[in-house]
């Protein structure tokens, strides 16, 4: 038996999980706890408190998924004054092997710890066991990554594909592009500016300012409160969530149109990723948004825009597409990555 420590570290919340690994593929969870990241000056005292509460001996291996880039085994967290270095962490915690990985790379590893109940299939396709796999996920940003079979197991590779250019495909999307260029006084618009939680708000503002329909007082108040809090670290309003809920309830016309445009753009970007990788091993949709708007993801609009690629349509119709509904996939992936060390 090998004792492993997995962590999903964010600027606001950190989840730690102690697991036990044996010869079987399954990992046995021994203890788990969630912490407010800002309550600790560094990861080390948090882990020490966690292990003391778990009444555990020192794990042999650890993997921490970081909400941000990992460069040469170091990471500086966004919105948190932590600088993590694997060599320092190993020395201060007494753990023999430690690795830091991008939180979206952890999602890639986590795929192999999911069950059928953790997935909702949008398109069965024709699965090819040796083919590449792809992961895309809209949340705070737009994560993208891919997996390649090497020997007996897949290697996970994160990417910055969410920062590639947003590609409008019709008159409304061209107007959205021009709106964002002018509003932010920028030279280009990334896919992430449209396909993300912030993107939902941006689309709403665009439709509102173009007077596409009349705002409901409830959503208007949430969006304006958020606009007034611009630049503040702590925000009391979450317009993306409010807009998504209003669209599902069909209680606000602009919110409905916002989410329609969002889902179409999301499907198109997922299709772009699929064209570049041909992930016949499966394309997995992660992130916090998709599970919250499941009826909108299932109404056919996402897959229509995913496959609407001209002559390539027949190829994309053969790619399996799944939504990950287990929001702990990153923590599962961190534990599986630790087991490989």
Q: Is a pLDDT exceeding 70 seen at residue 25? A: no
Domain residue limits, the chain: 2-114+326-339, 162-324
- pLDDT over 70 at 24, yes or no: no
Task: Report pLDDT for 237.
Answer: 79
Q: Specify the higher pLDDT residue, 307 or 22.
A: 307
Q: How many Cβ atoms are within 10 Å of 311's Cβ, its own excluded?
A: 6
Distance CA 49, CA 241 (A): 33
Q: Which residues are annotated as a binding site for ATP?
A: 7-12
pLDDT at 17: 96
In terms of phi and psi (left: phi > 0; alpha: psi -120 to 50; beta: otherwise), the region of 55 is left
In this prediction, residues 54-72 reach a mean pLDDT of 91
Q: 166 near 190, Cβ under 8 Å?
A: yes
Residues whose CB is less than 8 angstroms from the CB of residue 209 and which lie 6 or more positions away in sequence, other chains included: 179
Q: What topology does CATH give the domain 162-324?
A: Hexokinase; domain 1 (3.40.367)
Residues annotated within the binding site are 7-12
Quote the CA–CA distance of 108 and 102 in Å, as a whole number: 10
Residue 233: pLDDT band with limits 50, 70, 90:
low
Residue 35 has pLDDT above 80, yes or no: yes
- For strands 133-138 and 283-286, give the pairing: parallel
- Asked if the 2-114+326-339 domain carries CATH number 3.30.420.40, the reply is yes
Nearest to 79 by CA among 192, 201, 200, 234: 234
Is residue 145's pLDDT more than 70? Answer: yes
Model confidence over 282-333: pLDDT tens digits?
A: 999 999 999 999 999 999 999 999 999 999 999 999 999 999 999 999 999 9
């Amino acid at each position: 038996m090998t004792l492993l420590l997995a962590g999903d570290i964010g600027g606001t919340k950190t989840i730690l999980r102690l697991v036990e690994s044996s010869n079987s593929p399954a990992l046995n969870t021994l203890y788990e706890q969630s912490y407010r990241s800002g309550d600790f000056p560094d990861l080390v005292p948090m882990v020490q408190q966690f292990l003391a509460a778990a009444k555990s001996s020192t794990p042999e291996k650890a993997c921490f998924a970081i909400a941000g880039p990992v460069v040469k085994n170091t990471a500086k967290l966004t919105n948190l004054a932590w600088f993590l270095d694997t060599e320092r962490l190993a020395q201060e915690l007494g753990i023999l092997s430690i690795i830091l990985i991008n939180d979206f790379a952890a999602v890639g590893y986590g795929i192999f710890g999911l069950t059928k109940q953790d997935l909702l299939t949008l398109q069965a396709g024709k699965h090819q066991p040796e083919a590449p796999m792809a992961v895309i996920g809209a949340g705070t940003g737009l994560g993208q990554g891919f997996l390649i079979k090497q020997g007996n197991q897949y290697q996970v590779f994160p990417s910055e594909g969410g920062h590639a250019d947003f590609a409008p495909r019709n008159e409304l999307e061209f107007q959205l592009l021009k709106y964002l260029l002018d509003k932010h006084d920028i030279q280009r618009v990334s896919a992430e500016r449209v396909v993300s939680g912030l993107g939902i708000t941006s689309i709403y503002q665009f439709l509102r300012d173009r007077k596409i329909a009349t705002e409901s007082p409830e959503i208007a108040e949430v969006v304006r409160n958020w606009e007034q809090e611009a630049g503040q670290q702590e925000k009391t309003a979450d317009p993306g969530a409010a807009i998504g809920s209003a669209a599902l309830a069909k209680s606000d016309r602009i919110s409905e149109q916002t989410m329609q445009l969002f889902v179409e753009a999301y499907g198109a970007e997922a299709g772009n990723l699929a064209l570049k990788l041909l992930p016949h091993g499966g394309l997995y949709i992660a992130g916090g948004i998709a599970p919250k708007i499941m009826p909108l993801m299932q109404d056919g609009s996402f897959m229509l825009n995913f496959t609407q690629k001209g002559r390539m349509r027949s190829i994309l119709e053969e790619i399996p597409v799944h939504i990950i509904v287990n929001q702990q996939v990153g923590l599962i992936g961190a534990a599986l990555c630790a087991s490989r060390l």
